[in-house]
A and B are shown apart, each in its own frame.
Chain A
Amino acid sequence: MNNTNKISILQGRLIDPANGVDTVTDIHIENGKVAAIGEAPADFQAATIIDGNDKVVCPGIIDLCANLREPGAEYKATIASETAAAAHSGITTLCCPPDTLPVIDTPAIAGQIKHKARKAGYCRVLPLGAQTQGLKGEKLSEMAALKGAGCIAISNNYAPLANTLVQRRTLEYAATFNLLTIIRSNDRHLSDQGCAHEGKVADRLGLPVIPEAAETVAVARDLALGQTTGAAIHFHTLSSASAAHTLAWARREKRRVTADVAIHQLHLTEMDIEGFDSNTHVLPPLRSTGDRDGLRQAVAENIISAICSDHQPHEADAKAAPFPATEPGISGLDTLLPLTIKLVHEGVMDLNSAIARLTIGPAEILGLPLGRLQVGATADICIFDPDTYWTVVPDQLTSQGKNTPFGGWELPGIVTHTLLEGRIVYQRD
């Protein structure tokens, strides 16, 4: 790890969607900030020079959802292992959801996570506080205290509130402190004990289903509650085209609402669960081709303004069972950027838009002054070679979780350097 104070990145293709920049130029970094773009400041002597030729230089990636598993499930992954994997993948900031053990519903747990992340030093970790105590959906968490301890937003993650009145109260209370509420919209009664999209494939395989309505009904409810309470709502990991349409309508109505999508939902569909591949067991489930296309369109049109990894590292045993009996989730940090670049290669959107969904998009959702690279900005930087392909080998993922359905895929884009606040936290050999 390099701790040099002054760094110059020379002749890289700087893409900074926040400022509309796409040009080959130099960037100079000092004291953790961008000191200059183009010509170096007078008397600037770089201790480290990075060759940016044929590479893209962009703001560090901000991942709105990466489970670090610590505290409570260190056998799956740790803060150190996953933040190192994040750095390897160009991610400089990530949000970790509250369903750790114990749950992030006290300042102490939030503080512990931040402390461990700082100690590891690879990546900025922003905990999400629990929306309700113990994620039980009954009593409000101490949101003001959680905010004070560094929780960037609140969420009940995989335990969305079934009680509409409690949901309303949490939104009202969060709005009091201008705290963003992040919701995985899922009507628990409709999704029942399901594990696969309600459609042709699950019908044939006889898998218990989660209908699209489990998402759309919950999105509609929470949009209504958002309107009533004036709370800022972020819909997390949308999976259906219908929900994306509803979101488009809400955005036209100028509601305080944003959304993200997990990168795997933009590439995989229900067809990928054929053969009961437990690595494709995710929540929300992989949906139809129409849903995937609808989500792609919403991302291209910036209705969905962020793409996340929805990183869920698991130990091998968690996936070594019949499909419905396995734990859901994909280890997604390593493939977040390459799969997003693949969208560019497939003509879904241009490279600038793709980078925007990984940088300024999530930064604006969280209200952070990150995801941009003008002079004076924090020097969180990702440098990658966009045209080199690599083959995904699950066992070689840098994350401790090797559970990926993308094994054998050839993906474009290799990160060569990651800088966090002007420090090189990852450099490819």
Chain B
Amino acid sequence: MSRGPSLQLDDTGRLRHFLTIDGLNRELLTEILDTAEGFAGVSERTVKKVPLCRGKIVANLFFENSTRTRTTFELAGKRLSADVLNLNITASSTSKGETLLDTLRNLEAMHVDMFVVRHAVSGAAHFIARHAAPGVGVINAGDGRHAHPTQAMLDMFTIRRHKGEFTGLRVAIVGDILHSRVARSQILALNTLGVSEVRVIAPRTLLPVEARSLGVHIYHDMDEGIRDVDVVIMLRLQKERMQGAMLPSEHEYYRLFGLTEARLAAADSEAIVMHPGPINRGVEMASEVADGSRSVILQQVSYGIAVRMAVISIIIGTQNQQGQDNKG
């Protein structure tokens, strides 16, 4: 059985799929960031397109609702001149009883070159990658609690843009680590890129029991955990956590773990504030922080397009190279 990394990489170590940060080395992550840097200016041009993926078909397979991620993937594909199909699977095939594999086979019959997959179940992107036809790339756009690697990479891109280097940085991730695919991918990316310390700040009900094994320092006290950090990443809190005996109330969560201007004062004076969105104002953070000068939340969204363009183009590049190798 292939593990994520070997499934993701071809024999020469090129990215074939992008399913998880797990197992990818610093060079590969840096390549994604550098490539994204090259695409960051495309949005500002009059003609916001490059012809890199002309003639390619990218299918956004969203089994779970998403506006932000789907839109940025759609824009990323279109800016690379690919034909982009948006398939809202929840409303169609699976509701008629079609299996995931059936859906995949049908789409493959349309000669799709790449699937961007969002699914509520951990491991779904791995499953699709394992069963996809050779030469078809799969990008994980979020699977269950497992991984959201492009979100993590756009966060890394944001951090690098503001902080330059990763080494020496202290980063705090605050909130529901237990259920967060974003946090899992961020932690792996931050550690791979060589930050000096990743902290997670949450009550024990929102932490995996073996959280330490993920390579983090654990804090249950927000004021202590945020002290001197260079980056604060706030996570979205799902409303159902209040009903699931994980938290007593939004009020208490905000009081203990909410990010306010007063609290942020304990962080480094140049610290930036991030959030994968959408924000619950007054639950995860105060509006004055979300809209304040330290917030880079909207930049995250815009960088998301460049990072997704980078990942799509790298994988299409691998496909093209493989095509060349096969001919040769």
Query: Within the assembled complex, what's the spacing in Å between the Cα atoms of A275 and B126?
Result: 8
How many residues on B have C-beta within 8 angstroms of the other chain's C-beta atoms?
30
Q: Would you give the 0/1 interface string for A310-349, flagging 1 where the beta carbon is closer than 8 Å to chain B?
A: 0000000100111111000000000000000000000000
Query: Within the assembled complex, what's the spacing in Å between the Cα atoms of A323 and B3?
Result: 13
Query: Within the assembled complex, what's the spacing in Å between the Cα atoms of A211 and B211?
Result: 14
B242 at the interface (CB under 8 A from A): no
The segment from A118-126, A197-205, A358-366, A377-385 that touches chain B is: A197-205
Q: Enumerate chain B residues within 8 angstroms of A44, measured Cβ to Cβ.
A: none
Whether A200 contacts B126 by the Cβ 8 Å rule is: no
Q: Enumerate chain A residues within 8 angstroms of B1, measured Cβ to Cβ.
A: 274-275, 277
The segment from B52-60, B115-123, B228-236 that touches chain A is: B115-123
Query: Within the assembled complex, what's the spacing in Å between the Cα atoms of A296 and B257?
Result: 44
A149 at the interface (CB under 8 A from B): no
Q: Enumerate chain B residues within 8 angstroms of A324, measured Cβ to Cβ.
A: 121-123, 144
Chain B residue nearest in CB terms to A211: B209
Distance between B153 CB and nearest chain A CB, rounded to angstroms: 17
Query: Within the assembled complex, what's the spacing in Å between the Cα atoms of A322 and B122?
Result: 7
Query: Within the assembled complex, what's the spacing in Å between the Cα atoms of A321 and B4?
Result: 16
Query: Within the assembled complex, what's the spacing in Å between the Cα atoms of A204 and B147?
Result: 9
Query: Within the assembled complex, what's the spacing in Å between the Cα atoms of A275 and B121?
Result: 14
Whether A207 contacts B145 by the Cβ 8 Å rule is: yes
B143 at the interface (CB under 8 A from A): yes
Interface residues of A in 202-237 (CB under 8 A from B): 202-209, 211
* Total of A-B residue pairs, C-beta within 8 Å: 82
Q: Would you give the 0/1 interface string for B69-99, flagging 1 where the beta carbon is closer than 8 Å to chain A?
A: 0000000000000000000000000000001
Which of B1, B2, B184 lies at the interface centre, i.e. has the most chain A CB atoms within 10 A of its CB?
B1
Whether B3 contacts A207 by the Cβ 8 Å rule is: no
Q: A275-B2, A322-B122, A322-B126 are in contact. Are A203 and B213 (CB under 8 A)?
A: yes
Distance between A339 CB and nearest chain B CB, rounded to angstroms: 18
A158 at the interface (CB under 8 A from B): no
Q: Would you give the 0/1 interface string for B105-137, flagging 1 where the beta carbon is closer than 8 Å to chain A?
A: 000000000000001011110110001000000
Which of A204, A277, A321 lies at the interface centre, i.e. has the most chain B CB atoms within 10 A of its CB?
A204
Distance between B308 CB and nearest chain A CB, rounded to angstroms: 21
Chain A residue nearest in CB terms to B179: A206
Q: Enumerate chain B residues within 8 angstroms of A275, measured Cβ to Cβ.
A: 1-4, 7, 126
Whether A276 contacts B209 by the Cβ 8 Å rule is: no
Query: Within the assembled complex, what's the spacing in Å between the Cα atoms of A206 and B210?
Result: 12
B199 at the interface (CB under 8 A from A): no
Distance between B181 CB and nearest chain A CB, rounded to angstroms: 6
Query: Within the assembled complex, what's the spacing in Å between the Cα atoms of A207 and B145?
Result: 7
Closest 8 CB pairs of A and B: A206-B145, A206-B146, A276-B123, A203-B208, A322-B124, A277-B1, A323-B123, A275-B1
Q: Which residues of A contact B (CB under 8 A)?
A: 198-200, 202-209, 211, 274-277, 317, 320-325
Cross-chain pairs A/B with CB under 8 angstroms, 27 sampled: A198-B209, A199-B209, A200-B210, A202-B208, A203-B214, A204-B22, A204-B213, A204-B214, A205-B122, A206-B122, A207-B123, A207-B146, A208-B144, A208-B145, A274-B1, A274-B3, A275-B126, A276-B123, A320-B100, A320-B101, A321-B99, A321-B100, A321-B121, A322-B124, A322-B126, A323-B127, A324-B123
